[in-house]
Amino acid sequence: MLESEKVYIKKAKSGNQEAFGALYDHYLPSIYRFILLKVSNRAEAEDLSHEVFLSAWKNIPGYKDKGFPFSSWLYQIARNAVIDFYRTSKKNIQIEEAPEEFLKINFTGADTLNLDLETDVLKKCVSLLKPEYQDVVIMRFIEEMPHGEVASVLGKSEGAVRLAQHRAIKELKEIYENEIKKYKYNGTTTHEA
């Protein structure tokens, strides 16, 4: 969270461009990474990120603090922008092209995975999840957002997010096992994939 975030938000709601610029500078890398993992194209991710912040600037006078970081509101806007992007482009979600530095994963708790997954295999496996599960995995394990904040972004209860996370991890494990079988069947290893 940005130090003095509430002060910046209050000033930005009053039309202060510098205050909004500080919010933009702080949150742009996270929002961009989220979008890039969903659209897999740097140019499209940059365009969508700018659209998110343009929308945020236009709508910030109506922003209401619901007890979550400002980033939750930005992630809601980003998620809607990605949905609109796919609704209009009708492309398949592919994150195979995302750079490795964007896939910093920190799995914790009961739903853990064997983290010796190769980055390429992991990207492919996540891309095969349904969009809601992708959102949960990215927000929880890459962005390290708490369940409550993910729930706020997705418009669901914390319990629903926990259930989606459990199901996403279970499905991710199954996809991973199938991918490994494909590599073994084709006579390749994950290092060659």
CATH of the domain at 25: 1.10.1740.10
pLDDT tens column, 57-92: 999 999 998 888 899 999 999 999 998 998 887 544
**In terms of Cα–Cα distance, which of 176, 139, 142 is closest to 161?**
139
Please state the domain count of the chain.
2
Residue 44 shares a structural domain with residue 111: no
For the CA atoms of 129, 48, 106, 193, the dihedral, rounded to the nearest 10 degrees, stands at: 60
Question: CA–CA separation, 182 vs 161, rounded Å?
Answer: 31
Looking at the whole model, is its pTM more than 0.75?
no
Last residue within a domain, chosen from 91, 117, 132: 91
Q: Which residues span the domain enclosing 124?
A: 96-193
Last residue within a domain, chosen from 39, 56, 91: 91
Question: CA–CA separation, 169 vs 35, rounded Å?
Answer: 21
- pLDDT of residue 182 exceeding 50, the answer is yes
Residue labelled with tokens 């199901």 = 167
